[in-house]
Amino acid sequence: SRPSSTTMYAAKKASTKKSSAKKSSKKAAASEEEEVVNFKKAAFVSALAEKTGMTKADSDIALAAVLNVIATEVSAGKRIALPGFGTFKLNYRAARKGRNPKTGEEIDIKASYSPSFSASKTFKEMANPDR
């Protein structure tokens, strides 16, 4: 149910890329599955404006405000739960040893925080209608 132009673009892009035999077999297996189509910000803002009845400019401002609040609050260590959608939170990643893939030299990776999102049960069910 995807637009044919997107499928043709994806197939053309896949055929023009040069890669090893191992990578191309993975690519072939992935292309047999459903191809992912990007939903750009402009299209998202248009859809938001259509659903809410707001102008595109107001929808863009509202989207920016929502994303800013989520980023600011999660960065501050707060957990944001949106029932029916999911939860945004901050995960701690402990310090660990790693290797430089080029030289094989062991390196220290500092502890850090990483934002994460967990989809709600409702959202997961929408994404998997056949189950």
Q: What is the pTM of this model?
A: 0.67
As a whole number, the mean pLDDT across the chain is 82
User: Residue 36 — very low, low, confident or very high, per pLDDT cuts 50/70/90?
Assistant: confident
Q: Which pLDDT does position 27 carry in this prediction? A: 52
Between these two residues, 81 and 130, which has the higher pLDDT value?
81
Q: Which pLDDT does position 74 carry in this prediction? A: 97
pLDDT at 102 over 70: yes
Residue-wise pLDDT for 46-83, tens only, equals 999 999 999 999 999 999 999 999 999 999 999 999 99
Nearest-angstrom CA–CA distance, 80 and 82: 7
CB 77 within 8 A of CB 92: no
Q: At what angle do helices 41-52 and 56-75 cross, to 10 degrees?
A: 110
Burial of 130 (0-12, 13-18, 19+ CB in 10 A): exposed
User: Residue 40 — very low, low, confident or very high, per pLDDT cuts 50/70/90?
Assistant: very high
